[in-house]
Structure 1
Amino acid sequence: MNSPFLGEQLENPGLIHNCQGLVIAKPMQMLFIAAFIFGVPTVWLLVLLCCDICNRSKGQTRSFFSLLSHYLIHRTASLQSGLQRQGLEQSTKNILQVQQSTLQHRIRRNRNTEYGKLYQFSKITDRETFRNLHPLTRYDHYEEYIERTSKGEENVLISERPCILSRTSGTSGSYATLLNTKETMNDFHQAFGVVFHSMLDVYPRTRNLQWTAAFYYSPDWTKSESGIPIGSNLPSLMTSMLKLTMYSTPAAGFEIATEPEALYVHLLFALKDRTLGMLEAHFASTVYHSFALLQNKWEQLIEDIRLGQVNPKLKITGDVRLKLEARLKPDPQRASELAAEFEIGFRGIARRVWPHLNLVLSVDSGSHELYGSHLKCFYCQGVPIYSPVYAATEGLIGVNLWPGKEKRHYLLCPHSMFFEFIPVDLCSEEQPQTLFLDEVKENELYELVITNASGLYRYRMGDIIKIVGFHNQCPVIEFKYRLGQLLNVRGEKILEETFYQTLLRTVSLWPGAVLLDYCCVESGLLGSFCGSSDPHYEVFVEIKGVRNLSEDQRYKLDQCLQEDSELYQSFRRKGSIGPVRVHIVAPGSFKELMDFITANVGTSCSQFNMHRILRKKEFLNFIQRKVIS
């Protein structure tokens, strides 16, 4: 039966009449118009997205979903890092206001604590009154407050419950437990954003969607009486970042709590990927020890890659092993390719097994300089190393905005700390007059004084820094040494940096020798075993290229030290200081020393700074047992 409405539709198919006589556009026509307006640009954007992902993938065989996830995270991080860099730039243009605001925030937040009432925080209105009302401090000033906080007492030193208790590495001879708050941790997150921006700017190839081999491992966490986690602030900070899809090691690999097993697993998955783009660790020492492990274990690693397994002898839990092996497949072709490279030798091995490697991201300043130098000269020839931050257990201090420069310079972060500076010639005084951030001068040396977010006020860190310039209004600094790290048996005060450079020059005079590691001891620590009535230095070196040294070669170090230090030469000529004694230790001794120190101190290897001058008898006894010549 024909309807009048149907007939009208047929006569005018572009219109549809409903029963109320209202007219609407034909649905298919609307969809076509919408598809034309919105669909074509959307399709075009999707095509551009796919092309960009393909261009950045560097020929990887990963799934498109994995690449897309990596791409989106990378793009998001890139945008966020740009905003964080802008924020840092803005803060360096008005450091007086930023520093005043940072100080007032710290004081106001904790003014009702027991400590805040004792030191009259309510009367502190600016930096001058802060300096007048609060003394300069060292760790013993806070020890009781921190102990009470760790036991669960509230509102003692800070108004909030600390999220972590962290131990210092003890390079100055003493160890400290410090509080860490969420604000301290957030400062690190902000810094990593700035680092990411600088990295992409100077090394544009890091924008590629390549895996990063991250040499981290889960710290051995304990808890205080009140349940506050005790461990390293840096590894805990990275935990959330490791959930991203940018790392070559599966998530299960970061559950491994022991260093040798964790490094082995990281190496295994890194070696499987020929297109690896970056190596990453907190410190250059970790990267160096990873390559040393590779040099010792390469045959087993190749066998694991060939068979698609994790070494059955590796001490990891069954659950972690199952998760890891689910990501492994036999790859005899890659195993043969790696074997050919390893049989040639390990000089420049990084770029040979990973031809697309763009960067090593790791701190190589301070006590890690020797490891960074060996990476550059041997394992990682031709691969740039970016030392991103200057940080400590006390918190973030500075960031390196100049990745491509050979010298490691760091811009102080005016939001993370309130800074003061003690001129180096006043460091021996207990309460010297300090300078503020806007009062320091270029090319001058200062002891760093900080007020952080975790309950340290006008705290003398013991770090000596040099002002090397300014970025906008903010100082750019270079770390020089720690006050406790100098050799001083007669008042000669040989700085760690001075001794290190002298030792490098001496080793260059030993034909074929390469310095791998070293430490020093003042003879007083030996007691009756020093074998001489004259105070002197005992030096322990791990070298390669020579098996023994003649007495004349060993004496070269003393001669070079006299040439580099007039005061030392004067004491030597007077006979009040005896000659330096040099001892060669067995290969791997300093890695064992590091493990021994961290086990005794209760800190993590991943935050460890090698003790170049040993101050404890048990550490000296350990390295003495490793002497072979």
Structure 2
Amino acid sequence: MSVLNDILGFFIKRRIERINEFRINPHDTQIQQFDSLIYKARKTEFGKIYGYADIRNVSDFQNRVPIVSYETFYPYIERVLKGEQNVLWPSTISLFSKSSGTTNAKSKYIPVSDESLESCHYKGGKDLITLYLTEYPEAKLFEGKGLSIGGSLQNNPFNSKTEVGDISAIIMQNLPQWAEYLRTPPIEVALMDNWGKKLSKMIEICQKENLTSILGVPTWTVVFLERLMEETGHENLLELWPNFELFVHGAVNFQPYRELFKTKFFPSTDVHYLEIYNASEGYFAVQDDFSKEGEMLLMLDYGVFYEFIPMEHIEEEHPKTLTIDQVELDKNYAILISTNAGLWRYKIGDTVKFTSTSPYRIKISGRTKHFINAFGEELIIENAEKGITAACEATGLSVKDFTAGPIYMQGKQKGSHEWIIECNAKPENPSEFIEKLDNTLRRVNSDYDAKRRGDLALCMPKVHFVNEGTFYSWMEKRGKLGGQNKVPRLSNNREFIEDILAFIN
């Protein structure tokens, strides 16, 4: 298999020239993407409504085409779901990525065109390998198998001739034969819709494989690896997979899980960690500098045109949007995308900060709907994860999952935040954990600090430390195990807090 490793590595590494091209010419690259998208969609129904044939530049586009959320764009998507074609994009749409629905109780269906699958999602997968092999040219990924922990596919409830499912499942089902040969478990197991049965089969199969890499959401990967260790009795997983070298992760911040992976699962400096930003709507970024945790290169030639809304203007009816040449470092932006699957000026719900503009690197800072701002504290996911990480480090724990929401003011009682936290054990001194969490939040968020000063508007956080497996069982009850489903970290209301508390009491 070493010959295959050399051959595939050679061809994939040649792609670095193209990546370097958009690093050097980012603005020209984005304009090329924009012009191509507008030209190809000019005869679609959406393109005719908004006069794409007469759009000459980005300013024309921004003046004509409205910014949309899923809810406002859904009437168009619904028609495509029911089988109409050439509504949003000229090529036939037969696949739909089904979102995890963490920001909305309803499932969201995102069109996936052949172009977006090939020149966005698959291109991203090839480029992550390119960037990894550029950093570690002696890597031997292809001498073993790569484990993909994904979701499942179902018939489209609106049109049985098409399919819906997690983007991970769509990608796996349509992989080229050479790529399918290099991954595990077999496709019939990978696409099982019963997470419990899938987990058992994966454990059975992967014990017999020479695993060199894993691609998955940290939350579900932890569940799989812990079950595997329990069943095999290994002290760590390098005893089972001595050639393991890479964990590719996305969907949630890896920082709270990093120590667990480095000390419990893969205690070796020869194991590397690479972050990607692959959502239902597209593949947007890949970590290109292994010394910069949490920072990813924005991929500019994937058939996606980017705009950014400064978060202080997100609630405005017609906010001014910025292109990449107008963004500033370390400011919080909501992302808008226009894509080769027919999403136009679409708010995907994520927020990012730019950590570099030469080249353009981003880090995910949160969700536009996942925050707590009940008292003007503007707590975002990035703040929460820093607080949790610091508290775990101070108390020698590892976080498994958490969520938080507000406790509203009642009468003379001041408000606070209520947290439900699951670690690998309950802290011996809960007060120490809570104090470290609170102090870190005050350090990283000046608005939170101002409200906490003298208990002006916010009192000390209230924290429930729950048993291991609590969030897994809660997600199972909600029918949201596996795939890209994830626990909602923050909410500006008490919906999730009260549901979990009712579940455990």
TM (norm. structure 2) is 0.87
Greater share of helix residues, 1 or 2? 1
Paired with 2:57 and 2:325, the residues of 1 have a C-alpha distance of 15
- Contact between 2:93 and 2:113, CA under 8 Å: does it hold in 1? yes
1:522 aligned onto 2:455: no
Paired with 1:106 and 1:419, the residues of 2 have a C-alpha distance of 12
In structure 2, stretches of 5+ residues that fail to align are none
Greater share of strand residues, 1 or 2? 2
Who is 2:279 aligned against? 392
Q: CA RMSD in A?
A: 3.2
Pick one of 519, 522, 544 that aligns with 2:424. Answer: 544
Paired with 1:379 and 1:532, the residues of 2 have a C-alpha distance of 49
SS of 2:349's partner is strand
Distance 1:242 1:578, change over 3 A: farther
Aligned partner of 2:261: which letter? L
Deviation at 1:547, TM superposition (A): 6.6
Who is 1:48 aligned against? none
Distance 1:92 1:259, change over 3 A: same
Distance 1:609 1:479, change over 3 A: same
Aligned partner of 1:595: which letter? E
Who is 1:568 aligned against? 448
Paired with 1:531 and 1:266, the residues of 2 have a C-alpha distance of 53
Deviation at 1:394, TM superposition (A): 1.1
Pick one of 194, 217, 228 that aligns with 1:283. Answer: 217
- Percent of aligned pairs with the same amino acid: 20
Distance 1:616 1:76, change over 3 A: farther
Deviation at 1:224, TM superposition (A): 3.3
Which ranges of 4 or more aligned residues in structure 1 deviate by more than 6 Å? 615-618
1:410 aligned onto 2:292: no
> What are the Cα deviations for residues 19-47 of structure 1, in whole angstroms up to 9, with x where unaligned?
xxxxxxxxxxxxxxxxxxxxxxxxxxxxx
Pick one of 40, 61, 86 that aligns with 1:155. Answer: 86
Paired with 2:113 and 2:402, the residues of 1 have a C-alpha distance of 35
> What are the Cα deviations for residues 529-585 of structure 1, in whole angstroms up to 9, with x where unaligned?
x99954322111112343765567656644554455443344343553343211121
Paired with 1:490 and 1:445, the residues of 2 have a C-alpha distance of 19
Deviation at 1:392, TM superposition (A): 1.2
- Contact between 1:91 and 1:415, CA under 8 Å: does it hold in 2? no
Worse overlay, 77-86 or 554-563: 554-563
Any residues of structure 2 matched to 1:145-544 within 5 Å, and which?
145-173=76-104, 176-186=108-118, 187-207=120-140, 210-216=143-149, 219-226=152-159, 227-241=161-175, 243=177, 244-247=180-183, 249-250=185-186, 253-254=189-190, 256-273=192-209, 276-298=210-232, 339=233, 342=234, 346=235, 349-363=236-250, 366-382=252-268, 383-403=270-290, 405-471=292-358, 474-510=359-395, 512-523=396-407, 533-544=413-424
> What are the Cα deviations for residues 182-222 of structure 1, in whole angstroms up to 9, with x where unaligned?
11111111122222222223234433653224143561412
Distance 1:427 1:211, change over 3 A: same
Aligned partner of 1:183: which letter? E
Paired with 2:371 and 2:491, the residues of 1 have a C-alpha distance of 10
- Contact between 1:518 and 1:541, CA under 8 Å: does it hold in 2? yes
Who is 1:607 aligned against? 484
Higher relative contact order (CA 8 A, sep 6+): 2
Deviation at 1:395, TM superposition (A): 0.7
Who is 1:590 aligned against? 471
Distance 1:199 1:567, change over 3 A: closer
Paired with 1:237 and 1:498, the residues of 2 have a C-alpha distance of 32
SS of 1:582's partner is strand
In structure 1, stretches of 5+ residues that fail to align are 1-52, 57-70, 299-338
> What are the Cα deviations for residues 322-373 of structure 1, in whole angstroms up to 9, with x where unaligned?
xxxxxxxxxxxxxxxxx5xx3xxx4xx022332232222333x744442344
Paired with 1:391 and 1:209, the residues of 2 have a C-alpha distance of 22
- Contact between 2:249 and 2:274, CA under 8 Å: does it hold in 1? yes
Deviation at 1:591, TM superposition (A): 1.9
- Contact between 1:215 and 1:287, CA under 8 Å: does it hold in 2? no
Paired with 1:209 and 1:553, the residues of 2 have a C-alpha distance of 43
Worse overlay, 584-593 or 538-547: 538-547
- Contact between 1:85 and 1:193, CA under 8 Å: does it hold in 2? no
Aligned partner of 1:132: which letter? N
Deviation at 1:626, TM superposition (A): 5.4
- Contact between 1:166 and 1:232, CA under 8 Å: does it hold in 2? yes
Who is 1:98 aligned against? 29
Aligned partner of 1:483: which letter? T
- Contact between 1:424 and 1:446, CA under 8 Å: does it hold in 2? yes
Paired with 1:122 and 1:193, the residues of 2 have a C-alpha distance of 34
Give the number of the structure whose alpha-carbon radius of gyration is greater: 1
1:116 aligned onto 2:1: no
Aligned partner of 2:181: which letter? T
Deviation at 1:134, TM superposition (A): 1.6
TM (norm. structure 1) is 0.71
- Contact between 1:221 and 1:229, CA under 8 Å: does it hold in 2? yes
